[in-house]
Structure 1
């Protein structure tokens, strides 16, 4: 990708691909149920899932405070972007794990996190090629000094002043609420499974 037009086209394809992956995952979850016989364990895993989703939404908003409206226009190296080059994807992966935990299964949570990480890996590689073409050595230095995905907290660097686009921040918050839609959806799926309307093909711990 050598131009903003190429990048824009790629981003549209990325959104479509991610939407398809999410749809396939939700369809798969219709036939999966937690294998924990202890209802308390099931409930605790669900509670951790809700906590992970809240952290994911707050984390995505935190990232937007620093990069909202500036992505692909400049290299941001402060706040969450000082410890990971792709913190938005990190928090989205945490949200995916949270959705998995809402099933009461740790295995499902790990599988969703891995799928999300793998999908973002291809997106990140493509974006890196574009950013290197646009920013050259500035981005190359950023690549050498800051990890691609998993945060290195010791690198944290704060900005003295932030300029925030409120419309972008609100949109990020609204987008993040999609994670919460999974909760009533999966609770309803669990009910349908309990009354044998939906088949349970796989039980996972």
Structure 2
């Protein structure tokens, strides 16, 4: 796979992901948490969701300090990349779980996390094939030492110095804020459901 092929694949992936997200959001119009919106448990789950989203935003920004502008150009193996080969995807999955939790449902939060992990799993396989061909033995050693997804914190090691591109940091931070757009979405959905405008076809805990 050439760099151009990888770029086209990433573009198709983003389009497919956007379509999937749109379909999920439409489906969520008819799904409601079985926990009362005014109850404590519903509020606790929402609070956890916000916490997960902020972890995701900060984590993705942290990753960009190390990978910004260097992805697919060199092997980055320090900071978050020393404990997992795909920390951006890890934090995005955490953010997806947070988005689902804003619905007040643990089931929806878990479903969002699993769907996000599954979509990224295929992407990582394609990227790994490209990186194997590009970097050869050095990447194979990295691949054998650091887990693909679930972090191994015992492997953590850091750099003494980083070269930072502020624009990449700002862009990643701004992209992460999109997770917070889920809150007004779920509030509107909740209002439409309680007012009877949208029928509730499924209730989940």
SS of aligned partner of 1:9: helix
Match for residue 52 of structure 2?
Answer: 52
SS of aligned partner of 1:112: helix
List aligned pairs for 1:184-199, cutoff 5 A.
Answer: 184-199=184-199
Structure 2: 5+ residue stretches without partners: none
Query: Structure 1 CA distance, aligned partners of 2:40 and 2:191?
Result: 17
Query: Structure 1 CA distance, aligned partners of 2:184 and 2:132?
Result: 42
Match for residue 68 of structure 1?
Answer: 68
SS of aligned partner of 2:41: helix
Structure 1: 5+ residue stretches without partners: none
Match for residue 83 of structure 2?
Answer: 83
Q: CA deviation at 1:53?
A: 0.5
Query: Structure 2 CA distance, aligned partners of 1:88 and 1:73?
Result: 16
Q: CA deviation at 1:70?
A: 0.3
Match for residue 172 of structure 2?
Answer: 172
TM-score scaled to structure 2, two decimals?
0.98
TM-score scaled to structure 1, two decimals?
0.98
Query: Structure 2 CA distance, aligned partners of 1:21 and 1:138?
Result: 35
SS of aligned partner of 1:24: helix
Match for residue 29 of structure 1?
Answer: 28
SS of aligned partner of 1:154: helix
Match for residue 203 of structure 1?
Answer: 203
SS of aligned partner of 2:32: strand
SS of aligned partner of 1:94: helix
Match for residue 10 of structure 1?
Answer: 9
- Kindly provide the CA deviation profile for residues 55-112 of structure 1, in whole angstroms up to 9, marking residues without a partner as x: 0000000000000000000000000000000000000000110011000000000011
Query: Structure 1 CA distance, aligned partners of 2:95 and 2:55?
Result: 8
**Number of positions where the alignment pairs a residue of Structure 1 with one of Structure 2:** 204
Query: Structure 2 CA distance, aligned partners of 1:80 and 1:146?
Result: 11
Query: Structure 1 CA distance, aligned partners of 2:55 and 2:20?
Result: 22
List aligned pairs for 1:99-110, cutoff 5 A.
Answer: 99-110=99-110
List aligned pairs for 1:104-183, cutoff 5 A.
Answer: 104-183=104-183
Query: Structure 1 CA distance, aligned partners of 2:119 and 2:130?
Result: 18
SS of aligned partner of 2:198: coil
Q: CA deviation at 1:20?
A: 1.2
Instruction: Find runs of 4+ consecutive structure 1 residues off by over 4 angstroms.
Output: none
